[in-house]
Amino acid sequence: MDSNNELIQKINEKYISMGLEPEAFYKGLLYSKPINYWDYIEVESLLSLQKPRTDYPDEMVFIMYHQVTELLLNMMTHEMHQVCNNENLTADYFIEKLGRMNRYIQMLANSFDVMRLGMDPNQYNEFRFSLTPASGFQCASFRFAEIYSTDIENLLDTRVKGNLPANYDTAFLFENIYWQAAGKDHKTEKKSYLLNLFEEKYLDKFIAMANEYKTKNIWQKYVAMPEKDKNNPALIQALKDLDIEFNIKWPIVHLRAAEQYLDNGSKVIKATGGSDWKKYLHPMYQKRVFFPGLWSKEELDNWAKDYD
Distances (CA, A) of 83 to 173, 174, 274: 24, 24, 36
What is the SS3 string spanning the chain?
Answer: CCCHHHHHHHHHHHHHHCCCCHHHHHHHHHHCCCCCHHHHCCHHHHCCCCCCCCCCCHHHHHHHHHHHHHHHHHHHHHHHHHHHCCCCCCHHHHHHHHHHHHHHHHHHHHCCHHHHCCCCHHHHHHHHHHCCCCCHHHCHHHHHHHHHHCCHHHHECCCCCCCCCCCCCHHHHHHCEHHHHHCECCCCCCECHHHHHHHHHHHHHHHHHHHHHCCCCHHHHHHCCCHHHHCCHHHHHHHHHHHHHHHHHHHHHHHHHHHHHHECCCCECCCCCCCCHHHHCCHHHHCCCCCHHHCCHHHHHCCCHHHC
Q: Which whole-number Å values give the CA distances from 146 to 42, 177, 197, 266, 270, in the listed order?
A: 29, 11, 20, 35, 27
- Under rule CB under 6 A, residue 176 binds ligand HEM: no
252 binds ligand HEM (CB under 6 A): no
Q: Which is nearer to ligand HEM, 97 or 287 (CB)?
A: 287
Applying CB under 6 A, the span of 15-23, 32-40, 79-87, 257-265 interacting with ligand HEM comes to: 257-265
Does the footprint of ligand HEM cover residue 291 (CB under 6 A)?
Answer: no
By the rule CB under 6 A, 238 interacts with ligand HEM? no
Does residue 198 touch ligand HEM according to CB under 6 A?
no
Residues 107-166 that bind ligand HEM (CB under 6 A): 115, 135-137, 139, 142
Q: Residue 290 interacts with ligand HEM (CB under 6 A)? A: no
Q: How far is the CB of 208 from ligand HEM (least distance, A)?
A: 20
CA atoms of 150 and 132, how far apart (whole Å):
32
List 101, 147, 156, 182, residue binding ligand HEM (CB under 6 A) = 182
Question: How many residues touch ligand HEM (CB under 6 A)?
Answer: 24
**Of 102, 176, 217, 272, which one interacts with ligand HEM (CB under 6 A)?**
272
* CA atoms in the 13 A half-sphere facing the CB of 253: 19
The residue nearest ligand HEM at its CB is: 273
Task: Tell the smallest beta-carbon distance from residue 306 to ligand HEM (Å).
Answer: 19
Q: Which 5-44 positions form the footprint of ligand HEM (CB under 6 A)?
A: none
Residue from 10, 27, 66, 78 touching ligand HEM (CB under 6 A): that is: 66
Any contact of residue 177 with ligand HEM (CB under 6 A)?
A: no
Tell me: does residue 285 bind ligand HEM (CB under 6 A).
no
Q: Does 253 bind ligand HEM (CB under 6 A)?
A: no
- In the complex, the smallest distance separating the C-beta of residue 168 from ligand HEM, rounded to whole angstroms, is 22
289 contacts ligand HEM (rule: CB under 6 A)? no
Residue of the chain from 58, 69, 173, 249 that contacts ligand HEM (CB under 6 A):
69
Position 213 contacts ligand HEM (CB under 6 A): no
Provide the binding-site residues for ligand HEM, judged by CB under 6 A: 65-66, 69, 115, 135-137, 139, 142, 179, 182, 254, 257-258, 261-262, 271-275, 277, 280-281
